[in-house]
Amino acid sequence: MAQRAPLARVRAEMAGRALLPRAAVVLAALAAPLSAAEGPARAILLVPDLGASTSDLRFPDIDDEEIVAFDPETGEILPFLQDSNWRSLLGDADGDGRFNDVPAQVDAIAAMGGSVSSAYDLLYSFTTDRTFLGGTVARDGDLVRLLPGGGAEIVVSEEDLRLALGTSSDIDLDAAAFEPDGTLLFSLDSSIVTSSAAIAAENGGSRVLPDETVFALPPAASRARVRLRDADVIAAVNRALGTSYASVIDVQGLEVLDGGEILFTTGIFSGPGAGAIFTTAGGGRIAVAGGIPLDGPAFQLGSPVDWNGLAIVAEPLRPLVLDTDLPVTSRSADGRISVRIAAGTPGGLARILATPVSRPVIAPTPESALRGTGYIFVARTDPMYARSLSSPRTLLRLDSRGDAAVSFRLRPTTPAITLTLQAVDETSRAASHGIVVEIVP
C-alpha cells in the first residue's frame, strides 16, 4: 500500500493550493447543500468517449483526450484542456524533437477537493501506458498527477489496485473519485475475476466483477470493497429512465458528493440515457444541477455521445480558452499561425504571449497576480516575452462573447522553431493554458 502516503500528501497539497486564493468562495460552496437534486451550480468536467460534436460552433469538435467544462448555470460548454494544451503540458516526452506526445485517450479524471483551475488540479488515468518527461511510466491502471515541467507522479498505482482487488488480471482503471475521507471509488474497463472470498461475498457470491462494478478503497485498507454491484448500477439507470436495460455497457465516469451520493456516467451511447449523468440518489435518477437535468441534450450535443470521465468541482469554472487549428504550421508558401481566444471578458482586451519553448518543455511559473490557470507557460527569460508583452499586434479586442481570432503571417525566413503561446485577459487577469505551435520548413 505504498501509495497511501503520497495520496494523503497529494490531497493536502492540492486542496491547500486551491484554498489559498479563494478561501471565501470555496467555504461558501462547502456550506451550501450538496444534493445533486438541488445543489449549487458548479463546474462539471467531462471527457468524451470517442470524441463528440456540439452545437456550440465555437468548438464543434471535442476529442477523447480533451476535457470540457460545463457550467450548469449558463449551459455553456467550453474546452478546459485540448490537444494543443497537452502539447504544452507534456513537452517532447519521447525526445524525438516533436511536441506531439499527446495521450491517445483520457479514460478517468478525478478532482481532489477544493477548486480546479488548471490541469495540475486533476488526477488522470489514460487508456494506454505512457512515459512522461523524467522517465515516469504511467500504466493504464494508474491514477496520476501532472507536474509542472512535463513530469508526472503516480498517486494510485495499478499494482496496488490489483492487489486490493485480489486479481491476477491486468487491469485498466476507467473511472475514479474521492470521498471526503480519502476513500477512492473506482471502476475498471473490463471484467475481472477475484480470488478474494470477501469481495466475492460482497458481489452476491460471484467472483466475476463486471466493468459496471464500483469499488471503494479506504485510505488505510489493503482490500477493496464492492460499493455498487453491476446489478445496482443497472437498476439505478433503469429507475432513472423507466427502461429495462439488461446492461449499461460500462461505468466510465464517477464522482461522489459529500452526502455519499454517487454520480456516474455509462457506456450507453445512443437511445435513452446517452450522454446522461446519473445519481444513486432516490434509488436512481438523472442528476440535476442548477435546475438543469444532466441528460444528453443539456450538453448541446450534436451527436449521441457517452462520457468517459467525470469530475465535479465546488465553484463555477469558465476557462479562458486559447486554441489553434494548426499545431504544426509550415513557414513555406503563405504560412500563418492562426489562434483564437474564447470566454474572456466581453468587449475587453486579451494579450497573447509567445516565446520559443525549449526541449524539454520549460517549467511554468506560478504567477500570484494571475487568475485562471495561475501559471505563465511561456519562457519569461526569452527576449520574445518582453516583445509580446508590449507589441500592439498581440493585444486583441474581444467581442461580445469574449472571443477573438488573430492570424500571424510567417516570413519565409522564419526559422524552424517551436513556440508556446498563452492568452491573458487584461480585465480579469485570467490566464489560459499554454498551446504549442511547431513551425516547420
Asked if 418 interacts with Ca ion (CB under 5 A), we say no
Q: Three-state SS across 196-234?
A: CHHHHHHCCCCCEECCCCEEEECCCCCCCEEEECHHHHH
Asked if 92 interacts with Ca ion (CB under 5 A), we say yes
For Ca ion, the closer of residues 233 and 376 by Cβ is: 233
Identify which of 330, 323, 365 has the alpha carbon closest to the alpha carbon of residue 438: 330
Asked if 250 interacts with Ca ion (CB under 5 A), we say yes
Asked if 83 interacts with Ca ion (CB under 5 A), we say no
Minimal distance, residue 211 CB to Ca ion, in Å: 4
Q: Among residue numbers 191 through 220, which ones bind Ca ion (CB under 5 A)?
A: 211
For Ca ion, the closer of residues 125 and 373 by Cβ is: 125
3-state secondary structure of 23: helix
Choice from 56, 94, 179, 258 touching Ca ion (CB under 5 A): 94
User: What are 274's three cell numbers?
Assistant: 446517452
- How many other CB atoms are found less than 10 A from the CB of residue 96? 10
Binding pattern to Ca ion, positions 98-117, x when CB under 5 A?
x--x-----x----------
Minimal distance, residue 170 CB to Ca ion, in Å: 5
Asked if 172 interacts with Ca ion (CB under 5 A), we say yes
Cα 133 vs. chain centroid, distance in angstroms?
20
Judged by CB under 5 A, how many residues of this single chain contact Ca ion? 18
Minimal distance, residue 248 CB to Ca ion, in Å: 10
Minimal distance, residue 230 CB to Ca ion, in Å: 10
Asked if 255 interacts with Ca ion (CB under 5 A), we say no
Could you give the CA distance from residue 70 to residue 387 in angstroms, rounded to a whole number? 35
Query: Could you tell me which stretch among 11-19, 61-69, 186-194, 256-264 binds Ca ion (CB under 5 A)?
Result: 186-194
User: Between β-strands 292-293 and 404-409, what pairing exists: parallel, antiparallel or unpaired?
Assistant: unpaired
User: Between β-strands 52-53 and 404-409, what pairing exists: parallel, antiparallel or unpaired?
Assistant: unpaired
Identify which of 370, 359, 342, 367 has the alpha carbon closest to the alpha carbon of residue 419: 359
Asked if 438 interacts with Ca ion (CB under 5 A), we say no
User: CA triplet 19, 21, 26: central angle to 5 degrees?
Assistant: 45
Minimal distance, residue 130 CB to Ca ion, in Å: 10
Choice from 141, 309, 372, 374 touching Ca ion (CB under 5 A): 141
Asked if 251 interacts with Ca ion (CB under 5 A), we say yes
Asked if 96 interacts with Ca ion (CB under 5 A), we say yes
For residue 296, count CB atoms less than 10 angstroms from its CB and return exposed for 0-12, middle for 13-18, buried for 19 or more.
buried
| 360 preceded by a cis bond (ω within 30 of 0) | yes
Asked if 173 interacts with Ca ion (CB under 5 A), we say yes
Minimal distance, residue 183 CB to Ca ion, in Å: 18
Q: Which residue has the cell 511510466?
A: 137
Residues of the shown chain interacting with Ca ion in the complex, contacts defined by CB under 5 A: 92, 94, 96, 98, 101, 107, 125, 139-141, 170, 172-174, 187, 211, 250-251
